[in-house]
Structure 1
Amino acid sequence: MTNNTIHDRATALLAAYDTVAPLAPLTDAEPDLSVPRAYAIAAEVMRRRAARGERVVGWKIGFTNRTIWDEYDVHAPIWGCMYDSGLIRADAAGKAEMHVSHLHEPRIEPEIAFRISRTPDAGMTEAALLGCIDAMAHGFEIVQSPFPGWRFRPVDTMAAGALHGGFVLGPWLALPAADHAQRLPELQHFTMALHSDHGIADQGTAANVLGGPLSALRHFVQGLADCPHGRGIAPGDIVTTGTVTRAFPVAPGQIWTSQIDGVPLRGLTLRCI
């Protein structure tokens, strides 16, 4: 794939996201699209979004939930940037509203997010990674697929910014070093339930996310070192670690709530508008 092709693919993805026009999977035209080239396309999209004023606020890790790999025919985690233009902060009570009508076939994913205080290194243990984090939060990631019907190959999702649409961030919980011994097992064993205004949609456990959110972070840190993206992990970044439950379609007018047991984080209430 030439630099011109990378440019063209990035142009097509940006146009799809900006206009909500559907886009055929990139692999329909480029069946041999490689992982490094897919992330090169994503990096070009990131550069253009930054050039027009959007600020990268962190990273999303996708497809960390092994229980849904067969559903999407994706069997390894991916990652992409998050931007200030898609970040919604819930209030102190955990309530937020988010516009979803401008997204492609959006779906909701309840997740755990970390705030990075020190750039982590590849090969760190989960305990060492916790020392690079100063806070954690619960959040809802809203994912989207510009590829109609959520039909794609893994490399398509890599090029498409890991299908990130937006993120609803709940209140932060500080993680002082004195609490690390308690938080480590909590982050491996908590449970999370996702409710719609029609009842419980799904529930899951920390183990669904590659064994726990810190494990997902460890995979991401190593993966980014192996396949650079044009930007590393920086202090202040938000890193959201993947859905604990299955992902569900969302539409304006719906209300979604979550409940977490086993870790002291507030559940959220999201009104889709």
Structure 2
Amino acid sequence: MNIDQIAAEIHKAILNREQITPFTDRDMSLSSANAYKVSTKLCELRSWQVNGRKIGFTNRSIWPIYGVDQPMWGSMSNNSISYAKNGMPLIKLSDYCEPRIEPEIVVCFASTPPLRATEEQIAKSIAWVAPGFEIVDSIYPGWKFNIPDTIAAGGLHGQLVVGEKVIDTNDLREKLIDQKVILCCDNKVVEEGSGGNVLDGPISALKHLLDGISAEPSEVSVKAGDIVTTGTLTDAKPLRVGQTWNGKYSGIINSSLSVEIV
């Protein structure tokens, strides 16, 4: 199969909410570099104007659960990003195959960081931070795959709900490492997490993203106004209709974010 054929099969699976055999389990070779080319083609097929990225598998503690050993990233667009302004956002379960929810730290870039930027330079390029819930979805049965499969499928990105913005970005690197979240489902604590679970902190995750993008010819760097969600602070949790999920954030982000599953 070539790049276009793989992208077309993934696009069809997403549209029809059908699961498919991971490409790395087939009689073919799919490298991470080619998987990013597939992801770029997938955005074209979906008519997505890319205005951000999601970083996945930044929480090293969950690598053994998914059989992976490195982070990856995928694209986001206005089609997949929403803002929790009035009322509780609704997540429609039937839009997905095997959706899960992840509490994350979201950033917006004020400018494009320089090539091979330091973490300090990256932090100074950020306009605001916010709490976020990413809905991730696997078109591969049972969440069984290898890294190239996840890259090709757009980083398993479903949608992102962004909460209240914080524009005080002083000492951002350290404050984001110290950021805490309590993840609750139907008013019961499910798991607690922190920014320290995201590689060596969310800014470290952003550096991994930016360095990775610069090494991939098919990728374009972030620009002013782009949104990046930096990775889950807990393990991803399966969703069921009727649930209400709440993330209670404390630290530089000191607010709550809730979504209802319908």
Under TM normalisation by the shorter chain, which class is it? over 0.9
Equivalent pairs: percent with the same residue?
Answer: 37
Give the distance between the partners of 2:42 and 2:65, measured in 1 at CA: 27
Single out whichever of 133-142 and 83-92 deviates more from structure 2.
Answer: 83-92
* Structure 1 position 271 matched with structure 2 position 231: no
Q: What's the counterpart of residue 165 of structure 1?
A: 158
Give the distance between the partners of 2:145 and 2:234, measured in 1 at CA: 21
Give the Å deviation of 1:49.
1.7
Does structure 1 conserve the Cα–Cα contact (< 8 Å) formed by 2:205 and 2:230? yes
Describe the shift of the 1:32–1:120 C-alpha distance in structure 2 as closer, same or farther (beyond 3 A): same
Find the partner of 1:155 among 141, 148, 154.
148
Find the partner of 1:75 among 69, 77, 81.
69
Give the secondary-structure state (helix, strand or coil) at the position aligned to 2:19: coil
Give the distance between the partners of 1:92 and 1:214, measured in 2 at CA: 29
* Unpaired segments ≥5 residues, structure 2: none
Give the distance between the partners of 1:242 and 1:255, measured in 2 at CA: 21
Matches within 5 A, 1:18-167: 18-50=15-47, 54-91=48-85, 95-167=88-160
Does structure 1 conserve the Cα–Cα contact (< 8 Å) formed by 2:248 and 2:256? yes
Find the partner of 1:247 among 214, 236, 245.
236
Describe the shift of the 1:37–1:184 C-alpha distance in structure 2 as closer, same or farther (beyond 3 A): closer
Give the distance between the partners of 1:121 and 1:228, measured in 2 at CA: 17
Give the distance between the partners of 1:122 and 1:104, measured in 2 at CA: 38
TM-score after normalising by structure 1: 0.91
Q: What's the counterpart of residue 222 of structure 1?
A: 211
Give the Å deviation of 1:30.
4.6
Give the Å deviation of 1:121.
2.9
Describe the shift of the 1:92–1:102 C-alpha distance in structure 2 as closer, same or farther (beyond 3 A): closer
Single out whichever of 17-26 and 230-239 deviates more from structure 2.
Answer: 230-239
Give the distance between the partners of 2:35 and 2:64, measured in 1 at CA: 21
Give the distance between the partners of 1:232 and 1:45, measured in 2 at CA: 18
Give the residue type in structure 1 aligned to 2:170.
Answer: H
Give the distance between the partners of 2:54 and 2:90, measured in 1 at CA: 20
Give the distance between the partners of 2:79 and 2:240, measured in 1 at CA: 19
Count residues in correspondence: 262
Runs of 4+ with >6 A deviation: none
Q: What's the counterpart of residue 189 of structure 2?
A: 200
Give the distance between the partners of 1:134 and 1:161, measured in 2 at CA: 25
Provide the aligned C-alpha RMSD in A: 1.6
Give the secondary-structure state (helix, strand or coil) at the position aligned to 2:128: strand
Give the distance between the partners of 1:229 and 1:191, measured in 2 at CA: 35
Give the distance between the partners of 1:9 and 1:31, measured in 2 at CA: 11
Give the Å deviation of 1:92.
5.7
Describe the shift of the 1:108–1:149 C-alpha distance in structure 2 as closer, same or farther (beyond 3 A): same
* Unpaired segments ≥5 residues, structure 1: none
Give the distance between the partners of 1:249 and 1:31, measured in 2 at CA: 31
Does structure 1 conserve the Cα–Cα contact (< 8 Å) formed by 2:97 and 2:137? yes
Give the distance between the partners of 1:96 and 1:269, measured in 2 at CA: 7
Q: What's the counterpart of residue 237 of structure 1?
A: 226
Does structure 2 conserve the Cα–Cα contact (< 8 Å) formed by 1:101 and 1:251? no
